[in-house]
Chain A
Amino acid sequence: MEEAFQFIWYLIIGVSVTFYTVLDGFDLGVGCLHPFARGDQERRLMLNAIGPVWDGNEVWLIIVFGGMFVGFPPVYATICSAFYGLIMILIAGLMMRAVSIEFRSKQRSPRWRAFWDGMFSAGSYVIAFTIGLVLGNLIIGIPLDHRGEFIGSFWGFFTPYTVLIGCMGVSVFMMHGAIYMLMKTEGKMHERVRHWVNPTIVIFVIFYIVATFVTLVFKEHMIELMHKIPYLFGVGILTLFFIACVPFFAYRKKDGTAFIFSSLSITFLVTLFGLGTYPNMVRSSVNEEINSLTLFNSGATLPTLKVVLIVAIIGVPLVLGYGYWVYRIFRGKVKLDEASY
């Protein structure tokens, strides 16, 4: 009974991670692409394309960590304390990015705006890369003692493999952001954005191929579950298919469809991550069998999970409902008015 609830909560966190990466993914990508926009008008269009929604997108990150705190307290405690330095960098990025979106257009001075443009973009790169880096480290595992406390060092997080996953994170968000901007722009800017799409797809696909190859060859534990349940290889094949669909539809100017497939690609990359690491939530590179935190050895107890499941059952439809509503109201091409950033 308890295990079933733990599994459900694990799925909920997985879904939240997916929502976060798909939604904040495009606005982080827009941030990464922001330096390539020309002139104040284009910069403002990019900011306002994500203006009313980025804040809500970021709440999914809060849900991921809040959900871990309540559903898997040791996982929350271990991830936050082990990745201390990286999370501080992530926090600095999140803070600077949030205020730069808000403050950039509050003054006319070109220097003021250029400064916040720089912060916004740098923040986006830092956040995207750090998230990838953390996920990469969760794939290969980090050294933990028997209580789940981290016993490694900060520089240990930077291995060729984890940096590769970090770069792949940045590249997939950039592709995603470019396609999002296609949907939100028109006229001259739309044509310029179209030129961004192909390079971002190519760069992402290169990182994706290298990362997949390295994972299959050197990180065999990532496909253990697939060996047990061969159907799951289908997920990998579907991922490949969805990624292939992105340039296919982008080339045919079906921007909305391309965005759907770009979102599906991210969803399936997250799913592959989940399948590869299952049942570990934090894999220990020391004494793996005993020290790793799995969803079963670190899950909360039944009464807590029951309560939060009720919270989720009431809350999630509301969240999705008004999320959908806000996106609907601000759908279509972005236009600047006196309330814009």
Chain B
Amino acid sequence: MDVTVLSRIQFALTAGFHYLFPPLSIGLSLMIVIMEGIYMKTKDPAHKKLTMFWIRIFALSFALGVATGLVQLFAFGNNWSFFSRFVGNVFGSALAAEGVFAFFLEAGFIGLMLFGWNRVRPTLHYFSSICVAFGAHFSATWIVAANSWMQTPAGYKIVGEGDEARAVLTDFWGMIFNPSFLDRLTHVLIGCWLTGAFMVISISAYYFLKKKHTDFARMSMKLGLIVAMVMALLQLVSADSTARGVAKDQPAKLAAMEGVFKTQEGTAMNLIGWVDTANQSVHAVQLPGLLSFLVYRSAKTPIIGLDHFPKEDWPMVSSLFQVYHLMIYMWGGMFLGALLGFILWARKKFEKSKWIHRYLVLSAIFPFIANEAGWFTAEMGRQPWVVYNVMRTSQGVSRSLDAGQVMGSLIMFSVIYIFLFSLFIFLLDRKIKGGPEEEKERGDLVYSDPYPKGAT
């Protein structure tokens, strides 16, 4: 395999693994702000316990988010040095703003949020929780701005030629508010809130199932279901707007997502199926005219097909088709969970229905898969471009690397990530089983020193 392919796999692995954690942190940070807000208002100790429990889960996710996020800081320069030289002027300013405005805010206040319970007044602690939540959201804002610029570049001009060419900033706000930014940011943030809500739902459902901490679970579940329901519906609106943006700005991406090879009237939407790339056809259960209707609000207007683009500008149609549809199925899973939960709750049958508890325990996994599938759709759909219609991915790669080096680092990341992921699951499991009443497990502990006495 060549350096470009290996580097893409490595970026997909590191960014994909990293992205398990930020949505959870962002989503939970919102849940925590709500819970602590209720505590501030009611002064009810049960709500303090609730908040403290979710902060412990948040801390776990935050730590892994930081550890895996550091990789991304170097990733652009490591494997994509020509890309970095080309875009640094434009792209870097969003990243620098993220560092200065968001990371310091988070890093500064996370200490207070975790350790400050006895050090500062409750109002100040609540202020810290809000700052951490704001920092997490703000961080997502800059990153999505930078990535959206790669999808729909704006506010720049190109100076120089060949390897010396540079994208130069002409309009900062034009660059940040590029055509796809707001749609994609909304879509990403709602995805994060869903992740937080379903984590809360899932853990609460587990307690219902085990008949433990049910008072605690009732409070969490109610909040989780409300947030999940609202967000699942809002996500539909956002998805609609995002997809129409893609149709306008990245038509080849949309065509590949739905496997539209030929431009023709009344383009169908595929529910489930597969793409036969060799014969340029799709075998699927289709709803005729629906895609046209969704994009143009008219069942007739044709969607631009892949036949409008030279073959070397096509993304990988078959994989893109599948990850995109996977994301939609996951939304379906979430919506169903929230809806059934709501109905049962309203009819006061929720606590007796074991099957819904089982389903909701499982539901935590849906938003994670949806987030990953969504980003794979966005990024694979951008190929073969690293900056859409401006720079090809193969031009951006570092030329000082050989395949062996990248293979080496890829193996290193795989090993570390498998280790970290097992650890995350293990500790999450412990925290959940420990429950909100968790004894002071970190209490004093005497054990034999593993290092020889007198080692200095």
A binds B: yes
- Shortest beta-carbon distance from A106 to chain B in Å: 6
Contact in complex: B115, A52 (CB < 8 Å)? yes
- Shortest beta-carbon distance from B399 to chain A in Å: 5
Which A294-335 residues sit within 8 Å CB-CB of chain B? 300-301, 303-304, 307-308, 311-312, 315-316, 318-319, 322-323, 325-326, 329-330
B172's nearest neighbour on chain A, judged by CB, is A307
Which B95-137 residues sit within 8 Å CB-CB of chain A? 95-101, 103-105, 107-112, 114-120
Given A58-B107, A98-B67, the answer on whether A36 and B92 have CB atoms closer than 8 Å is: no
* B247 is an interface residue with CB less than 8 A from chain A: no
State the CA gap A109–B224 with chains docked (Å). Answer: 34
**With a CB–CB cut-off of 8 A, which chain B residues contact A82?**
400
A80's nearest neighbour on chain B, judged by CB, is B77
State the CA gap A154–B90 with chains docked (Å). Answer: 31
State the CA gap A339–B89 with chains docked (Å). Answer: 43
B420's nearest neighbour on chain A, judged by CB, is A99
Given A148-B85, A149-B398, the answer on whether A69 and B92 have CB atoms closer than 8 Å is: yes
State the CA gap A148–B412 with chains docked (Å). Answer: 27
State the CA gap A186–B443 with chains docked (Å). Answer: 20
Contact in complex: A98, B92 (CB < 8 Å)? no
* A276 is an interface residue with CB less than 8 A from chain B: no
Given A69-B92, A110-B448, A340-B115, the answer on whether A59 and B104 have CB atoms closer than 8 Å is: yes
State the CA gap A54–B412 with chains docked (Å). Answer: 25
- Shortest beta-carbon distance from A66 to chain B in Å: 4
**With a CB–CB cut-off of 8 A, which chain A residues contact B108?**
56, 319, 322-323, 325-326
Of the listed stretches B30-38, B56-64, B193-201, B355-363, name the one at the interface; the rest are far from the partner chain: B56-64
B445's nearest neighbour on chain A, judged by CB, is A40
* A274 is an interface residue with CB less than 8 A from chain B: no
State the CA gap A280–B412 with chains docked (Å). Answer: 33
* A78 is an interface residue with CB less than 8 A from chain B: yes
State the CA gap A91–B416 with chains docked (Å). Answer: 11
State the CA gap A296–B440 with chains docked (Å). Answer: 57
**With a CB–CB cut-off of 8 A, which chain B residues contact A300?**
88-89, 92
**With a CB–CB cut-off of 8 A, which chain B residues contact A101?**
63
Contact in complex: A103, B427 (CB < 8 Å)? yes
* B42 is an interface residue with CB less than 8 A from chain A: no
State the CA gap A318–B73 with chains docked (Å). Answer: 22
Given A87-B74, A105-B442, the answer on whether A55 and B405 have CB atoms closer than 8 Å is: no
**With a CB–CB cut-off of 8 A, which chain B residues contact A114?**
450
Could you say which of A56, A149, A339 contacts B117, with CB atoms under 8 Å apart?
A: A339
B64's nearest neighbour on chain A, judged by CB, is A99
State the CA gap A106–B114 with chains docked (Å). Answer: 14
Contact in complex: B81, A78 (CB < 8 Å)? yes
Could you say which of A91, A102, A311 contacts B70, with CB atoms under 8 Å apart?
A: A91
Of the listed stretches B162-170, B252-260, B306-314, B343-351, name the one at the interface; the rest are far from the partner chain: B162-170
- Shortest beta-carbon distance from B394 to chain A in Å: 15
Could you say which of B60, B84, B399, B442 contacts A76, with CB atoms under 8 Å apart?
A: B84
* A290 is an interface residue with CB less than 8 A from chain B: no
B118's nearest neighbour on chain A, judged by CB, is A337
State the CA gap A147–B92 with chains docked (Å). Answer: 20
Contact in complex: B111, A56 (CB < 8 Å)? yes
* A39 is an interface residue with CB less than 8 A from chain B: yes
A108's nearest neighbour on chain B, judged by CB, is B445
* B279 is an interface residue with CB less than 8 A from chain A: no
- Shortest beta-carbon distance from B145 to chain A in Å: 13
**With a CB–CB cut-off of 8 A, which chain A residues contact B77?**
65, 69, 76-81
Contact in complex: B409, A88 (CB < 8 Å)? yes
Could you say which of A41, A99, A303, A326 contacts B111, with CB atoms under 8 Å apart?
A: A326
B431's nearest neighbour on chain A, judged by CB, is A106
Given A66-B95, A92-B416, A329-B116, the answer on whether A39 and B441 have CB atoms closer than 8 Å is: no
Contact in complex: B84, A98 (CB < 8 Å)? no
State the CA gap A145–B169 with chains docked (Å). Answer: 27
State the CA gap A84–B163 with chains docked (Å). Answer: 21
Q: Mark A55-81, 1 if CB is under 8 A from B, else 0.
A: 110110111011101111110111111
**With a CB–CB cut-off of 8 A, which chain B residues contact A65?**
73-74, 77
**With a CB–CB cut-off of 8 A, which chain B residues contact A149?**
81, 398-400
- Shortest beta-carbon distance from A31 to chain B in Å: 15
Contact in complex: B420, A315 (CB < 8 Å)? no
**With a CB–CB cut-off of 8 A, which chain B residues contact A35?**
451, 455
**With a CB–CB cut-off of 8 A, which chain B residues contact A256?**
none
Q: Mark B408-431, 1 if CB is under 8 A from A, else 0.
A: 110010001000100100010010
State the CA gap A71–B96 with chains docked (Å). Answer: 9
Contact in complex: A330, B115 (CB < 8 Å)? yes
Q: Mark B426-456, 1 if CB is under 8 A from A, else 0.
A: 0100100000000011111111111101011
**With a CB–CB cut-off of 8 A, which chain B residues contact A36?**
451, 455-456
- Shortest beta-carbon distance from A324 to chain B in Å: 10
* B51 is an interface residue with CB less than 8 A from chain A: no
**With a CB–CB cut-off of 8 A, which chain B residues contact A98?**
63, 66-67, 70
Contact in complex: B98, A66 (CB < 8 Å)? yes
A149's nearest neighbour on chain B, judged by CB, is B400
Contact in complex: B169, A303 (CB < 8 Å)? yes
Given A55-B111, A84-B401, the answer on whether A304 and B90 have CB atoms closer than 8 Å is: yes
Contact in complex: B456, A196 (CB < 8 Å)? yes
* A38 is an interface residue with CB less than 8 A from chain B: yes
State the CA gap A230–B404 with chains docked (Å). Answer: 48
* B395 is an interface residue with CB less than 8 A from chain A: no
* B71 is an interface residue with CB less than 8 A from chain A: yes
Contact in complex: A81, B81 (CB < 8 Å)? yes
* A190 is an interface residue with CB less than 8 A from chain B: no
Contact in complex: B100, A319 (CB < 8 Å)? yes
- Shortest beta-carbon distance from B10 to chain A in Å: 10
Could you say which of B416, B441, B444 contacts A41, with CB atoms under 8 Å apart?
A: B444
Contact in complex: B449, A87 (CB < 8 Å)? no
State the CA gap A300–B87 with chains docked (Å). Answer: 10
* B79 is an interface residue with CB less than 8 A from chain A: yes
A337's nearest neighbour on chain B, judged by CB, is B118
* A236 is an interface residue with CB less than 8 A from chain B: no
State the CA gap A300–B401 with chains docked (Å). Answer: 25
Please list 7 pairs of residues, one from A and one from B, whose beta carbons are closer than 8 Å in the complex, sorted by A's number. A56-B107, A69-B91, A117-B450, A149-B400, A301-B89, A339-B114, A339-B116
Enumerate chain A interface residues (CB-CB to B < 8 A): 35-36, 38-41, 51-53, 55-56, 58-59, 61-63, 65-67, 69-74, 76-82, 84-85, 87-88, 91-92, 94-96, 98-99, 101-103, 105-108, 110, 113-114, 117, 147-151, 154, 195-196, 199, 300-301, 303-304, 307-308, 311-312, 315-316, 318-319, 322-323, 325-326, 329-330, 336-341
Enumerate chain B interface residues (CB-CB to A < 8 A): 59-60, 63-64, 66-68, 70-71, 73-74, 76-79, 81-82, 84-93, 95-101, 103-105, 107-112, 114-120, 159, 163, 166, 168-170, 172, 398-401, 405, 408-409, 412, 416, 420, 423, 427, 430, 440-451, 453, 455-456
| Known contacts A66-B100, A96-B416, A149-B399, then 11 further A-B pairs from the complex at CB < 8 Å, ordered by chain A residue | A35-B455, A36-B451, A51-B115, A69-B92, A88-B409, A98-B63, A99-B420, A99-B423, A102-B60, A105-B442, A308-B96
